[in-house]
Amino acid sequence: MSAPLKAGFGRTDITPELGVRLGGYGVEVHPGEGIHDRLQATAMVLEQGGPLFAVINLDWICIEEETFDRIRSGVNQRTGIPAMNVTVSASHTHSGPNTLNFWGWGERENAYIDSVLPVVIRSVELAKENLCEVQAGFLLTQK
């Protein structure tokens, strides 16, 4: 018999301070002027009788490889989850901070990224703390 599937979820607020340059506006400098919805880092940790896996989604426009590597390394240091077992994706919001260096889009907001990475990693810590046995499956219906 296989080990039970365990899953945990964690969410942290990664909303920048007003004035941070937003991504998605090209060469136009567009600082944040207000907050409509808070930005989130949402993590899921999975385990089934072996190493843990983490899936992280960020309300960012993009994640560059350097930032991705820093997140994976930080998650490994703080949780013990192997770096190769961590995946990170972005919601691709154009109304979040500029998190990429791309010709014609200006410089990324390094100070914001540096300040928020511990908060991103904290979402994984929360998910790991919330691990519990779950059942997963598909419901197939016929028409």
Q: DSSP 3-state assignment of 102?
A: strand
107 and 101 in contact (C-beta within 8 Å)?
A: yes
What are 46-64's pLDDT values in tens digits? 999 999 999 999 999 999 9
Q: DSSP 3-state assignment of 62?
A: coil
What are 53-109's pLDDT values in tens digits? 999 999 999 999 999 999 999 999 999 999 999 999 999 988 889 898 876 677 888
Residue 127 has pLDDT above 90, yes or no: yes
pLDDT on residue 35: 83
Does residue 139 lie within any of the structural domains?
no
Q: How far is CA 141 from CA 88, 138, in A?
A: 33, 10
Amino acid 119 reads: V
Does residue 141 lie within any of the structural domains?
no
**What crossing angle do the helices spanning 65-79 and 110-129 adopt, rounded to 10°?**
40
- Percent of residues, the chain, with pLDDT higher than 70: 96
**Domain that includes residue 103, residue range:** 6-133
Prediction pTM value: 0.89
Instruction: Indicate the pLDDT class of residue 1, thresholds 50, 70 and 90.
Output: low
What are the DSSP E strand ranges found in 14-108?
40-47, 53-58, 86-90
Q: How far is CA 38 from CA 15, 35, 109, in A?
A: 6, 7, 18
Does residue 140 lie within any of the structural domains?
no
Does residue 100 lie within any of the structural domains?
yes
How far, in Å, CA of 96 to CA of 141, rounded?
39
pLDDT on residue 142: 80
Domain count along the chain: 1
Does residue 11 lie within any of the structural domains?
yes
Does residue 97 lie within any of the structural domains?
yes
Does residue 22 lie within any of the structural domains?
yes
Weakest-pLDDT range from 17-21, 37-41, 55-59 = 17-21
pLDDT on residue 126: 98
> Please, what is the average pLDDT of the chain?
91
Does residue 1 lie within any of the structural domains?
no
Mean pLDDT of the region 23-33: 73
